[in-house]
Amino acid sequence: MANTWLPPVEYVATLPRATAYACLYFTDTGGRPFQLRATYHSGTWQWPGGNMDPGETPWETAVRECREETGIVFTGEPRLLGTHFTTDRGDAWPANHIGFVFDGGELTDEQIAAVVLDPEEHDAYDLRTLEEWEREMDPAEFACLAAIDRARRTGTPVYLEAGPGER
């Protein structure tokens, strides 16, 4: 089959759809991961972050979403811990979803005490050991948490995939 050149607008229309999100991964000074409990998705635990707005970079999204969801104004430098790819899930999310997980570093006790949640998105936050999170979380979601935590400790970013039915 011969290759046919298409103008960019037409070519892009032939490509798979994808959306993107970005978030910050924090721990306390004892190394316990910090997560927020979503008011949607049946109380799923997640990191401060969300979907990219038009014109934003992943880093800008992570910092903005963190501020909106927790009140934490993050001023550190971008350090990518991992990317996360989720396939098109039909009606649940009709596009591929690509995530960027950045290192937020360690939160002090004062920063944790000052967290203010957006009640429309999250109803609680918590810090737990990995063993404690494993008992609380869906196995696929915990695997993602454990991989990101390992990436932080080793300095080696990870690439994660989730298939149909996984988040």
Assigned domain for 122 exists: yes
What is the C-alpha to C-alpha distance for residues 142 and 164, in angstroms, rounded to an integer? 17
134-155 mean pLDDT: 95
Mean pLDDT within 6-18: 89
**Residue 104 falls inside a structural domain:** no
Handedness of CA 112, 113, 118, 123 (dihedral sign): positive
- Dist CA 162 CA 165 (whole Å): 8
**How many separate domains does the chain show?**
1
> Around 101, how many Cα atoms within 13 Å sit in the side-chain half-sphere?
23
> Does residue 98 lie within any of the structural domains?
no
- In our burial notation (b when 16+ CB lie closer than 10 A, e otherwise), range 119-150 reads eebbeebebbeeeebeeebeeebbebbbbbbe
* Amino acid, res. 119: P
| Assigned domain for 157 exists | yes
Domain of 142, in residue numbers: 16-90+118-162
DSSP 92: G
Q: What is the CATH number of the domain that holds 130?
A: 3.90.79.10
5: in domain: no
* Average pLDDT rounded to a whole number, residues 112-127: 95
The answer as to whether 26 is a domain residue is: yes
Give the residue-averaged pLDDT of 30-47.
Answer: 91
Q: Is residue 9 part of a domain?
A: no
Task: Work out the pLDDT band at 1, boundaries 50, 70, 90.
Answer: very low
pLDDT at 36: 97
- The answer to whether residue 166 scores a pLDDT higher than 60 is no
Query: Please, what is the average pLDDT of the chain?
Result: 92
